[in-house]
Amino acid sequence: MIKNYFRIAWRSLKRSRFFAAVNIAGLAFGMAVCMFILCWVLDEYSIDKFHSNGKNIYRLQANVDWGGIRTMTATPVVLADDLKDNFPEITANVKVRTTYSNMLFKTAQKTGLEKNYIYATSNLLEEMDFPVVAGDKHSALTQPKSIVLTESFAKKYYGTTDLVGKIINVEKNSALQVTAIVKDVPAASSIQFDFILPFALTLQQDPWLLKPGSYSIYNYMVIKPGTDISRLTAKMQQHYAKLNPGNKNEIWLQPFRDIYLHEKYENGKVAGGRIEYVRLFFITALIVLAIACINFMNLSTAQASKRAREVGVRKSMGASRLSLMLQFTGEAILMCAIAAVTAAAIVYLLMPAFNNFTGKHITFTLPVTLKYLLGILGVILVTGLLAGSYPAFVLSRFLPVKVLKGDLSSGSGASLFRKNLVVLQFVLSFIFIVSSVVIYNQMQYIYHRNLGVDKENVMYIELDEGFSANQNAIEQSLAQLPQVKSFTYNSFLPLSIEGTSADLGWEGKPDKLIVNTAPQQVGYDYVSTMGMTMKEGRDFSRDFASDSAAYIINETAARVMGMKHPLGKQISFWKGKGTIIGVVKDYHFASMRENISSMVMMLEPKDNGYMMIRLAKGEVSGQVAAVEKVFTTLNAGYPVDYHFLDETFDNMYRSETMLRKLAQVFAVVAVLISCLGLFGLSVFTAEQRKKEIGIRKVLGASVMNVTRLLSKEFLTLVIIGILLATPISWYMMNNWLSGFAYHTNLSAWIFIIAGVLAVVIALATVSFQSVKAAMANPVKSLKAE
Amino acid sequence: MIRTVNLQKLFTTEEVETTALNGINMEVQDGEFVAIMGPSGCGKSTLLNILGLLDNPSDGEYHFWDKEVARMSERQRAQLRKGSIGFVFQSFNLIDELTVFENVELPLLYLKVPAAERKVKVEEVLERMNIMHRRNHFPQQLSGGQQQRVAIARAVVAKPNLILADEPTGNLDSTNGEEVMKLLQELNNSGTTLIMVTHSPYDAGFAHRIINLFDGRVVTENIKEQFHV
């Protein structure tokens, strides 16, 4: 009997090829999108889960009250040491430091600046799963002058991994002995490095790390299995409070495995993080799949009319309703399987593009494949049952007495249900359309908003330690280049000042008031080079020796300090007491998610972080080459590490950009699938109303009349969908936009355009079938009676 | 085999109530061939559907082999239909996706007859209906007469005791119609009970007895030849 079912399923599939293709394509499309998202979600969940002892590792964190509670994910060395000494539950403390500075590697074949490295205590290799392929994992990082390399890094510079015991030259630390080679760090690790330097080395270089107030080290605490973490935390807090009377800071432990997805804190508590996107995308995946299933239901029930007679015949032979339901659900599962195979092929082929798009490294290798295969099988079954159950229910309900006579009306209840499905599809599609338009708008807004800084034509070079010795010569050469308009320095890039300081003081400042101020150490002619605008006063200049103790503030700082005429007034900041010589118009030195806060600039013409070079208008590659040449001649031995300010700006909004692209993809997919469903329904209706159309035409209705009659019904559904979706999408997008301090407004035209778009697309879909039905020869449809 | 007492069938819509059958009392003996005649809309097909357990009467009794079946559920009726009743329709109602062989095989599948036995039975009946050479064709590839022969083959393959035919020659030309009627007669001669709805007095001539319906009532019964059990 099963064979018979399959045979029938296959043949009816073949007979109505077009229908089957449309149906399977819709489902495959939806499934592929769903699979992509599920792959991404699974991958996000896999981050940091590969450490065998991972569930006993926690990161020590501190909530500090610096005019508002802030959670510090890096904590003082001395605090971790003290806790380790006093709590036997803590079996190990792995210390990790990351820095942003470049390190020069130089061999006969290759020279490069490397920044993907960490400093770590020797127990890192013991407590976490970074397998050592050569060398001793217990002693590899105990001596300050040692280095641990990953396999591919070793090969990249030295062409071999057979390096243990060898001395290699690394600028700044000069000769380091290779003590171990480790396997390349998996993409699923949040701790990434090409090489590890001993923690002892960074302590030698930066002894201030040992100050109690230095929050610079990631302290991973390995806790004895079975320990009650909340009790331990309470005990640790008690201990801490006793040692630091009057200090209200809180210390706590966050599970290492959770950190990657939950690294956003509010008021000292975990408040989301990447998990928000994971959830959002997971729900989206389900919605896309739901739209595809609805589509399948509609198309299958539309096909039902063609199968009705078969149901009648089978029933007259004694087939039970259950056996018919099984048959049709089985057919649905077969279709789903075909769709799933198609979808899997799409996913497989497009995975490289997807990885590129999301920055992931998802590959299909065993045993991961098995996991994904099981997942796919699950999706097939669930989708098949979900999508197949309704058509099976409708089909198996046909009364043989009726269908054998050709009466196919399946009752108003069923058609109402189908209509609701179409409305639901369009509600979801409309939400996707609106979301993608709003996100697109917001991104346009961000990109085109006047930042207060001219980010175009600015290249910047991260300075290395060779630079200061050659600074004068380089400056002189650059000044002579026609390609360079001007140059200056800053400690932070102008669009992303990291960290704030509570050190700002001024006359009449209330005792308890703490003003978090962004510090920026800059070179001469900073304001003009960066294309900022002075509200009053002047830029730092070589003509005034006193500028070394002067400050430039932004409008917000002036406002916060209550100064109507700030020029010439005294404030105190990192350079001690100094005079305000200028007020710069507010500009965006952080993401637009945040309000512009107060900012203070001070002069640091030497030994600064980045050289900012404004290029003259013209052909970029030639200009870059000219600048590069100056550096390679005058600062020989150091590769030039240059970037462009506008690219850095783009990177700041990478997740929004991804969201924008994804929303567009989802919108297109949702609309496409929904239209397939609508198309199916229009075919169904045309089939059902064949006789009516025939009679109308005999009585004189034109093709136009009939087309309008058939299309009107669907347009009503689409419009109901749009009306229902408008408040939902308004609420959702308003919520999203409120995450930005600077954002566009939700104007009515967005909804109008999205609505018109949906209606036009729907109309185009439906009218095709309506016109076809209207043009059919009425004699045929009436004769069939 | 069949006995109805005061059988009623009402069709109710929101505003009108139509009486399709109004107190039908009839009896059909095992092995009998009965034709039901009457003008369009007199209730012939409704009666046939009730007799075939495809539909329930609104009132009255229906004894099928001394079992009261009028109030049975759809599931019970399906169970009883299986194997004991065969249907022949005016429009053949073959499944387009199945070949001749597969169409005929269908009732046996529902009766869970093993594959080897199915093959023997289907081939036997195809042979009998003289359509064996078209066994691998699909219904659309056959003429009307051939399609109806397949339909009859399907109706008889499970050796039902009762065959219900709803205007079996209605869609056929006279030659093919004659052939089909002869087949039915043969079946009856070999012991199968036959009830046939027809418009054609010629076809009715093949039956032992003709029941005339008018407005849902039995008006006359013409016994063409006495039927002996």
Same domain, A107 and A218: yes
Q: Does residue A285 sit in the same domain as residue A136?
A: no
pLDDT in tens, B56-67: 899 999 999 888
Distance of alpha carbon A598 from alpha carbon A67, whole angstroms: 14
pLDDT of residue A492: 85
Peptide bond into A367 cis (omega under 30): yes
Q: Do A245 and A215 have their domain in common?
A: yes
Beta-bridge partner residues of B36: B197, B211
CA distances from A177 to A112, A125, A257 (A): 19, 17, 32
CB contact under 8 A, B110 and A317: yes
- CB-nearest to A320 from B75, B94, B98 is B75
Query: How confident is the model over A367-405, as pLDDT tens digits?
Result: 566 766 777 788 778 878 877 888 888 888 877 777 776
> What pLDDT digit, counting tens, does each position of A184-241 carry?
999 889 999 999 999 999 998 888 888 877 788 999 999 999 999 999 999 999 998 8
Whether residue A266 lies inside any domain: the answer is no
Q: Are A59 and A163 in a shared domain?
A: yes
For chain A, what is the mean pLDDT? Answer: 85
Q: Return the residue of A nearest to B138 by Cα.
A: A11
Do both A744 and A599 map to the same domain? no
Same domain for A26 and A95: no
A163-179 confidence digits (pLDDT tens): 899 998 887 557 899 99
Q: Is B74 on the interface with A (CB under 8 A)?
A: yes
Task: Give the confidence band of B170 by pLDDT, cuts at 50, 70, 90.
Answer: confident
Looking at the fold, whether A500 and A531 belong to one and the same domain comes out as: yes
Residue A418 lies in a domain: no
Domain count, chain A: 4
Predicted pLDDT at B44 = 87
Task: Clarify whether residues A218 and A95 are in a common domain.
Answer: yes
List alpha helices for A143-254, DSSP H.
151-158, 199-205, 229-243
| DSSP SS3 for A250 | strand
Whether residue B96 and residue A321 make contact (CB cut-off 8 A), yes or no, is no
Gyration radius (Cα) of chain B, Å: 18
Closest approach of A11 to chain B, Cα-based (Å): 6
Give the residues across from A287 on adjacent strands.
Answer: none
Q: Of A276-285, A577-586, A653-662, which range is least confident?
A: A653-662
Does residue A251 form part of some domain? yes
User: Residue A304 sits in which domain range?
Assistant: 1-47+273-408
| A307 in contact with chain B, both atoms CB, cutoff 8 A | no
Per residue in B79-118, is it b (16+ CB within 10 Å) or e — as a string?
ebbbbbbbbbbbbbbbbbbbbbbbbbbbbbbbeebeeeeb
- Say if residues A33 and A690 touch (Cβ distance below 8 Å): no
Last residue of a domain, one of A624, A652, A680: A652
Q: Are residues A465 and A602 in the same domain?
A: yes
Query: In the block, which residue shows the tokens 């820095």?
Result: A99
Is 80 exceeded by the pLDDT of residue B119?
yes
What would be the CATH architecture of the domain defined by B29-56+80-223?
3-Layer(aba) Sandwich (3.40)
Q: For residue B97, which residues of chain A lie inside 8 Å, CB to CB?
A: 7-8, 11-12, 15, 310
Pair (A618, A658) in one structural domain: no
Contacts of A7 in chain B (CB under 8 A): 97-98, 102
Q: For position A18, what pLDDT does the model report?
A: 75
Contact of A8 with chain B, judged by CB distance below 8 Å, is answered with: yes
CB contact under 8 A, A314 and B102: no
Q: Are B211 and B221 in contact (CB under 8 A)?
A: yes
- pLDDT tops 90 at residue A553: yes
ipTM: 0.71
The answer, for B52 touching chain A at a CB cutoff of 8 Å, is yes
pLDDT at residue A173, rounded to an integer: 58
Query: What is the distance in angstroms between the Cα of A328 and the nearest Cα belonging to chain B?
Result: 15
> Are residues A646 and A534 part of one domain?
yes
**A493 in a structural domain:** yes
Q: Does A55 touch chain B (CB under 8 A)?
A: no
- Of A294, A319, A295, A293, which is closest to residue A307 (Cα–Cα)? A319
Name the residue ranges covered by the structural domains of chain B: 29-56+80-223
Of A617, A652, A687, which one is at a domain's C-terminal end? A652
Are residues A256 and A54 in contact, defined by beta-carbon separation less than 8 angstroms? yes
- Please tell me if residue B228 touches chain A, with a CB cutoff of 8 Å: no
Q: A592 with A449: CB under 8 angstroms?
A: yes
Which chain B positions have a beta carbon within 8 Å of A317's beta carbon? 81-82, 87, 106-107, 110
Q: State which residue of chain A sits closest to B46, comparing Cα positions.
A: A401
Distance in angstroms (rounded) separating the CA atoms of residues A545 and A727: 62
Classify residue A585: in a domain, yes or no.
yes
A739 and A620 co-located in one domain: no
